[in-house]
Chains A and B, each alone.
Chain A
Amino acid sequence: GDSVTQMEGPVTLSEEAFLTINCTYTATGYPSLFWYVQYPGEGLQLLLKATKADDKGSNKGFEATYRKETTSFHLEKGSVQVSDSAVYFCALGHTGRRALTFGSGTRLQVQP
């Protein structure tokens, strides 16, 4: 079955540091890939998505590229802010089955 593996956290960075959160997946066919973010006390929000190989999703300075050859969808940001502190979830979904499969989440802590 489908699975998503994320790097374990917490990831602790200083403000303006470069961020990478690794995500790899196992799935049949050609899933769509998503990054969701959960800020403290809030529900999950879609951060970005990519629907086919080599697509790049981007939003709020975050980027992730759908790499089929390495089955990866790593999240990057060039300069993190304290307000980026949250839990980040990588997820995949298939056409025909609308439910998403999530990774276990990576907590990011950004210190001023």
Chain B
Amino acid sequence: GAGVSQSPRYKVAKRGQDVALRCDPISGHVSLFWYQQALGQGPEFLTYFQNEAQLDKSGLPSDRFFAERPEGSVSTLKIQRTQQEDSAVYLCASSLARDTAPNEQFFGPGTRLTVL
């Protein structure tokens, strides 16, 4: 079956531009996560959805970052007025679990964002 897919795989933006990154989770997965991975670092949590509800957005670095999952499936991470420090790989992960235990998260290949 299909895994988590993300698009685009690579995005180059000029400083100040808005970008939108898309995530298609595994069908039927309730939980969806966004992480930011800087070069040479591990992923850092940005935000979490359970179905269409955004239950945790404590990791979003500023109000320029916005995520949505309006129908409980596809999610979009939007970054407004991009800055050079936003350059990173943005990872999406999904999980079947709806309970509170940390379960296996299935990761997409990521979108590499470069802000010039």
Report A's interface with B, CB cutoff 8 A. 4, 31-32, 34, 36, 41-46, 49, 51, 89, 91, 93-105
CB neighbours of B40 from chain A (8 A): 104-105
The answer to whether B107 touches A45, judged by C-beta atoms less than 8 angstroms apart, is yes
B109 with A43: CB separation less than 8 A: yes
Size of the B side of the interface (Cβ < 8 Å), in residues, is 29
Q: Tell me the B33-78 residues at the A interface (CB within 8 Å).
A: 33, 35, 40-45, 48, 56, 59
Q: How far is the CB of B22 from chain A (nearest CB, A)?
A: 15
A interface secondary structure, majority: strand
Please indicate the chain A residues that have their CB under 8 angstroms from the CB of B33 in the complex.
98-100
Q: List 13 A-B contacts (CB under 8 A).
A: A44-B43, A44-B107, A45-B107, A93-B102, A95-B102, A98-B48, A98-B95, A98-B97, A99-B48, A100-B33, A100-B43, A102-B43, A102-B44
List the A residue with the shortest CB-CB distance to B101: A95
Closest Cβ of chain A to B91, distance in Å, is 7
Distance in Å: Cβ of B90 to nearest Cβ of chain A = 12
Closest B residue by C-beta to A51: B101
Q: Which residue of B lies closest to A92 (CB)?
A: B102
